[in-house]
């Protein structure tokens, strides 16, 4: 009973699959035919609408229908765009164009290095240290190579107070200027250090520092203002670091080196004489003697046990781990 039921189920499943595949093929063909008919600019008549002449055999009509369908298929293919003509395999891809552009840039840089950079040597000049009388101010800027950073707007200026004497300042004016700058003055190097980052750009901060220095110089040179001669210079803001000097007696000269070498040789000779006369114990000899003594103490029990005679008979073979089978071998 089970075998016929199984055969019936298999036949039913096979018929359902055949029906589904045929229906899917028919739907795909109909959709394809609809697309072709809508894309064409002309109208065609169906084969069912063709008039059948009286007395015409059925086979001739079937041949006409096949010929008409082939002609219709050829017209549809002619209407479709030529995809193969749009693709040109000889052209370079976008990645290839990028590699080619990079290669061109590298060749351009190599040409510059080979032909134009050697010509820059004709424009080289010997470095000349700027004259502090003409350029007493030293500016320092901070850059982060094009990146936006809050610290990039900071500008620092340093100048030596004694260099401002070329600007028409006398010694009393310089003393007053040192007192006006306050904690920005370094009494060890006589340098004033000022900075500004209050504005958004470096040019504005530099302009502010320049105006401040001009105001300080004008205030120091003003004869009607207080000269601050009765006020001493305040240096509590600066910590003086002690500068230790190496003693002259400790410096190694050629004579001092020869003297030290002679002293070392004399000490070595004296120590050797003491060892030979047994007035001093050599550390290496004492360590070696002690090592030999301990080694001898460890080896004596082992050698004494090795000198004892071996037992004989069955008991002796058992003690030595020998059996009858091993004895035969």
pLDDT at position 146 is 79
Confidence band of 275 (pLDDT split at 50, 70, 90): confident
Chain-wide mean pLDDT for the chain?
78
pLDDT tens per residue, range 256-268:
899 999 999 999 8
For residue 276, the SS3 value is helix
pLDDT tens per residue, range 201-246:
999 999 999 999 999 999 999 989 898 999 999 999 999 988 888 8
Q: CA separation (Å) from 290 to 270, 296, 317?
A: 26, 10, 41
Distance CA 258, CA 266 (A): 13
For residue 144, the SS3 value is coil
Output the CA torsion sign for 139, 140, 142, 145.
positive
The whole model's pTM is what?
0.45
Q: Is 192:153 a contact under the CB 8 Å cutoff? A: no
For residue 93, the SS3 value is coil
Q: Is the pLDDT of residue 195 over 90?
A: yes
Distance CA 44, CA 216 (A): 101
Q: Is the pLDDT of residue 282 over 80?
A: no
DSSP secondary-structure letter at 154?
-
Q: Is the pLDDT of residue 192 over 90?
A: yes
Q: Is the pLDDT of residue 40 over 50?
A: no
Report the 3 state secondary structure along 46-83. Answer: CHHHCCCCCCCCHHHHHHHHHHHHHHHHHHHHHHCCCH
The proportion of the chain whose per-residue pLDDT surpasses 70, expressed as a percent, equals 65
Beta strands in the chain (DSSP E): 137-141, 155-160, 185-186, 191-196
Phi, psi of 312 (to 5 degrees): -115, 165
What is the pLDDT averaged over residues 19-45? 50
Q: CA separation (Å) from 328 to 83, 220, 225, 314?
A: 96, 121, 128, 14
Output the CA torsion sign for 21, 24, 30, 33.
negative
Q: What's CA 297's distance to the chain center, in Å?
A: 65
pLDDT tens per residue, range 69-121:
666 555 544 555 555 555 566 778 889 899 999 999 999 999 999 999 999 99
Q: Which residue has the higher pLDDT, 282 or 82?
A: 282
Distance CA 17, CA 20 (A): 5
pLDDT at position 119 is 93
């Amino acid at each position: 009973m089970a075998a016929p039921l199984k055969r019936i189920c298999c036949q039913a499943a096979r018929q359902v699959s055949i029906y589904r595949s045929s229906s899917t093929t028919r739907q795909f063909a109909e959709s394809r035919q609809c697309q072709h008919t809508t894309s064409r600019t002309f109208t065609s008549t169906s084969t069912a609408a063709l008039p059948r002449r009286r007395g015409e055999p059925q086979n001739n009509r079937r041949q006409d229908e096949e010929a008409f369908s082939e002609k219709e298929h050829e017209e549809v293919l002619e209407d479709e765009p030529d995809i193969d003509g749009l693709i040109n395999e000889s052209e370079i891809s976008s990645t290839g164009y990028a590699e080619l552009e990079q290669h061109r840039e590298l060749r351009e840089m190599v040409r510059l290095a080979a032909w134009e950079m050697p010509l820059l040597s004709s424009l080289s000049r010997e470095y000349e240290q700027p004259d502090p009388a003409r350029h007493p101010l030293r500016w320092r800027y901070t850059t982060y190579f094009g990146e936006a950073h809050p610290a990039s707007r900071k500008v620092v200026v340093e100048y030596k107070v004694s260099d401002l004497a070329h600007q028409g300042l006398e010694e009393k004016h310089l003393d007053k200027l040192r007192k006006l700058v306050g904690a920005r003055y370094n009494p060890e190097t006589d340098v004033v250090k000022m900075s500004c980052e209050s504005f958004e750009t470096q040019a504005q901060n530099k302009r502010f520092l320049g105006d401040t220095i001009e105001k300080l110089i004008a205030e120091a040179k003003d004869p009607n203002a207080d000269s601050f001669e009765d006020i001493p210079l305040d240096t509590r803001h600066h910590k003086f670091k002690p500068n230790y000097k190496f003693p002259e007696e400790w410096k190694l000269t050629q004579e001092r080196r020869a003297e030290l070498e002679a002293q070392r040789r004399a000490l070595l000779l004296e120590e050797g004489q003491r060892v030979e006369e047994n007035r001093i114990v050599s550390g290496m000899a004492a360590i070696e003697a002690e090592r030999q003594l301990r080694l001898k103490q460890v080896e004596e029990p082992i050698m004494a046990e090795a000198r004892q005679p071996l037992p004989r008979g069955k008991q002796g073979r058992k003690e030595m781990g020998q059996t009858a089978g091993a004895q035969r071998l």
